[in-house]
Amino acid sequence: MPKARKNLSKKLRFDVFKRDIFTCQYCGSVPPKVVLEVDHVHPVSKGGDNDIDNLITSCFDCNRGKAANSLEVIPQTVAEKTALMVEKEDQLKELRAIKKRKKNRLSRDINHLDEIYQEHFPDYAFSQSFKNSIRNQFLPNLDVDTLENNLTLSCNKCWFNSRKALKYFCGVNWRQIKECPSE
């Protein structure tokens, strides 16, 4: 529950104005151009008190603009916001480029495995569904060299049946994934 606001004495108010040379400490305005007030640096609603070190001279407009906000949160300038947006855009472009390179690498790896399969079974190729299984299930868990070795082993072991070779390949991969789970 926020503290109840206690009225400032005229003497304390005047001491704050004197200390701050009767100048708004936010914008530099002085009377008679503006009406001065005393602002709580750390707002009363957030636990601030009437100690002179928590009080500052402020013009009416600056005091209303600051409201019950703490000065710990300084608004960004347009230049800072622009620089942040440019940085975010640059990071997004780089992320997209990285994802594209990864997708291309995975496609090359899968096509390489398909070529090995076709060397053993010239009349057959991986279906798109099987390529997706390799991409989504095997490549995240096993490196391409391991998959290449497993495929070659499977094709040599089941040289007489292309479907059995693929089943064997999947079984070997799943066994290795279960034996060495990713961390």
Is the CA virtual torsion 46, 49, 53, 59 positive or negative?
positive
CATH class of the domain defined by 10-66: mainly alpha
Confirm if 56 and 41 have CB atoms less than 8 A apart: yes
pLDDT score of 48: 86
Kindly list the domain boundaries of the chain, sorted by start residue: 10-66, 98-179
pLDDT score of 181: 59
pLDDT score of 119: 97
pLDDT score of 73: 56
- For the segment 7-27, what is each residue's pLDDT rounded down to a tens digit? 889 999 999 999 999 999 988
Confirm if 41 and 54 have CB atoms less than 8 A apart: yes
